[in-house]
Amino acid sequence: MSDDALKQFRVQIDRIDDELLRLFNQRAALAQQIGHAKQGGAVLRPEREAQVLRRLNEANQGPLPNGSISQLFTEVMSHCRALEAPLSIAYLGPAGSFTEAAALKRFGHASVCVPCASIDEVFRKVESNEVRYGVVPVENSTEGAVGRTLDLMLQSPLKLCGEVPLQVHQCLMSNSTLAEVRRVYSHPQSLGQCQGWLNANLPHAERIAVSSNSEAARLASQQADSAAVAGKQASERFDVPLLVENIEDDPRNTTRFLVIGDQQVSPSGCDKTSLVISAANRPGAVHDLLTPLAHHGVSMTKLESRPARSGLWEYVFFVDIEGHQQDTKVAAALAELGQVASFVKVLGSYPVAV
Ligand SMILES: O=C(O)C(=O)C[C@]1(C(=O)O)C=C[C@@H](O)C=C1
């Protein structure tokens, strides 16, 4: 391309940027007015944000893919929201964790993100109003449920306000060569996600479970013959060279995170409801739990059992269903479920991730 042609294109880009600048500020001023009109009510409206992203994804004609449109407008809304009031979010840390990436994916970079040392601490900070929302991992497509999050949801008065799926890529990092590695540090979930690769490529290295992937990278940065399995960002943060990228056994390896808060989210038009239920200890009781859903045409998208922690071999079931608890058929199914289950707790209705 000639210098002249390049200049021409850049003049056009400058003009568009000027227009975008004007429009961003016009949009932000409207958000400020909405903020005043809310009169102290919740600034974050997850249902509205989901509707904004869905509408734009439908209208999008490219060349930007829908993923980029969602990312850009999440940031736009993040900055508009921050003008209404600053939003604080606790997440399972440390800084650089996959949970931080999930929090940023959902809330954008204009929020105040507070790292916590444990899932319990995230719940505590939200319950005590130290922060407005929390982000915690709930399940991984390879390794399954995160039990602590489920157990805390069962006990906590907080509601589910959203979900964030995040594709998780694991890397092997070390100051040594692959042949020299004798020890591999990582969080147990990450070791599990890469066990096929580790069996094939480092069969004789000892696998050592530690509290977080960041801690693993820190240890690998300080010890000879040691490696860590962690996200790419940990390699930069602790200055440990990447040896191999994308070592997760399933390239679609995805972790689902939950947003928790003291807020009932309104219907967005495409929602999910999460519940915990349990059955009396009699024949057919578990089967009876599912009948009200089928009866009212409500689809179940997840069923997970957990020990109830109240008696030996007693279980609770974590169930996700399609729809919002205010939808007529979901409300009818929940009312009927209340008649047959020995325990029902609605954890929250929230928009399906965009
Ligand atoms: O519509 C609102 O309630 C707004 O405050 C505006 C806006 C946005 O920027 O579009 C910002 C925050 C809310 O979470 C939802 C949307």
The protein residue whose alpha carbon is closest to atom 9 in ligand 1 is 77
pLDDT range class, residue 281, cuts 50, 70, 90 = confident
Distance, in Å, from the CA atom of 142 to the CA atom of 17, rounded to the nearest integer, reads 43
On the question of pLDDT at 313 being above 80, the answer is no
Q: Say yes or no: 346 and 311 in one domain.
A: yes
Per DSSP, the three-state class of 214 is: helix
Query: What pLDDT does 146 receive?
Result: 93
Q: Say yes or no: 29 and 142 in one domain.
A: yes
Q: What is the DSSP string of 23-84?
A: HHHHHHHHHHHHHHHTTTS-S--HHHHHHHHHHHHHH--SSS-HHHHHHHHHHHHHHHHHHH
Query: Of all atoms in ligand 1, which is nearest to the CA of residue 52?
Result: 10
pLDDT by residue (tens digit) across 239-267? 999 999 999 999 999 999 999 999 999 99
Nearest to 317 by CA among 145, 158, 193: 145
Segments forming the whole domain that contains residue 133: 20-34+45-168+254-261
Query: Of all atoms in ligand 1, which is nearest to the CA of residue 31?
Result: 6
Supply the ipTM of this predicted assembly: 0.99
Q: Is residue 62 part of a domain?
A: yes
Q: Is residue 12 part of a domain?
A: no
Q: What separation in Å is there between the alpha carbon of 352 and the centre of ligand 1? A: 18
Query: What pLDDT does 16 receive?
Result: 98
CA 251 to chain centre: 18
Positions annotated as catalytic residues are 255, 257
Q: Are 126 and 134 in contact (CB under 8 A)?
A: yes
Query: What pLDDT does 282 receive?
Result: 79
The protein residue whose alpha carbon is closest to atom 10 in ligand 1 is 77
pLDDT by residue (tens digit) across 169-189? 999 999 999 999 999 999 999
Q: How many CB atoms lie within 10 A of CB 254?
A: 14
Q: Say yes or no: 237 and 185 in one domain.
A: yes
Average pLDDT over residues 155-180: 97
Of the residues 228, 261, 294, the one at which a domain ends:
261
For 123, phi and psi rounded to 5 degrees?
-60, -45
Of the residues 261, 288, 313, the one at which a domain ends:
261
Output the average pLDDT for the chain: 95
Q: Say yes or no: 155 and 188 in one domain.
A: no
For 229, phi and psi rounded to 5 degrees?
-100, 120
Query: What pLDDT does 163 receive?
Result: 98
The CATH number of residue 146's host domain is 3.40.190.10
What's the token pair of residue 211?
């509290």
Query: Of all atoms in ligand 1, which is nearest to the CA of residue 80?
Result: 9
Q: Say yes or no: 24 and 160 in one domain.
A: yes
Q: Say yes or no: 57 and 162 in one domain.
A: yes
On the question of pLDDT at 220 being above 90, the answer is yes
What's the token pair of residue 22?
């004007």
The CATH number of residue 288's host domain is 3.30.70.260
Of the residues 234, 261, 288, the one at which a domain ends:
261
Pocket test for ligand 1, best of 77, 268, 354 (most atoms within 8 A of CB): 77
Give the count of domains, the chain.
3
Q: Is residue 6 part of a domain?
A: no
What's the token pair of residue 77?
């809304």
Q: Say yes or no: 164 and 54 in one domain.
A: yes
Distance, in Å, from the CA atom of 256 to the CA atom of 277, rounded to the nearest integer, reads 21
The protein residue whose alpha carbon is closest to atom 4 in ligand 1 is 31
pLDDT by residue (tens digit) across 79-99? 999 999 999 999 998 888 899
Q: What separation in Å is there between the alpha carbon of 105 and the centre of ligand 1? A: 16
CA 1 to chain centre: 43
What does the CA dihedral 145, 149, 152, 156 come to, rounded to 10 degrees?
A: -120
Average pLDDT over residues 63-76: 98
pLDDT range class, residue 317, cuts 50, 70, 90 = very high
Q: What separation in Å is there between the alpha carbon of 73 and the centre of ligand 1? A: 11
Query: Of all atoms in ligand 1, which is nearest to the CA of residue 38?
Result: 3
Q: Say yes or no: 307 and 288 in one domain.
A: yes
Of residues 39 and 275, the one with the higher pLDDT is 275
Q: Say yes or no: 214 and 301 in one domain.
A: no
Pocket test for ligand 1, best of 24, 30, 48, 350 (most atoms within 8 A of CB): 48
Q: Say yes or no: 147 and 121 in one domain.
A: yes
Query: What pLDDT does 191 receive?
Result: 96
Q: What separation in Å is there between the alpha carbon of 44 and the centre of ligand 1? A: 7
Average pLDDT over residues 129-149: 94
What does the CA dihedral 185, 187, 192, 193 come to, rounded to 10 degrees?
A: -100
Query: What pLDDT does 287 receive?
Result: 87
Pocket test for ligand 1, best of 23, 24, 32, 34 (most atoms within 8 A of CB): 34
Q: What separation in Å is there between the alpha carbon of 277 and the centre of ligand 1? A: 34
Q: Is residue 1 part of a domain?
A: no
Q: Is residue 134 part of a domain?
A: yes
Nearest to 98 by CA among 141, 38, 129, 50: 141
Q: Say yes or no: 144 and 65 in one domain.
A: yes
Q: Say yes or no: 138 and 99 in one domain.
A: yes
Query: What pLDDT does 312 receive?
Result: 61
Q: Is residue 315 part of a domain?
A: yes
Query: Of all atoms in ligand 1, which is nearest to the CA of residue 46?
Result: 14
Q: Is residue 10 part of a domain?
A: no
Query: What pLDDT does 211 receive?
Result: 87
Residues within 6 Å of ligand 1 by CB: 31, 34, 44-45, 48-49, 52, 77, 80-81, 84
Q: What separation in Å is there between the alpha carbon of 27 and the centre of ligand 1? A: 10
Calculate what percentage of the chain has a pLDDT beyond 70.
99
Q: Is residue 249 part of a domain?
A: no
Calculate what percentage of the chain has a pLDDT beyond 90.
88
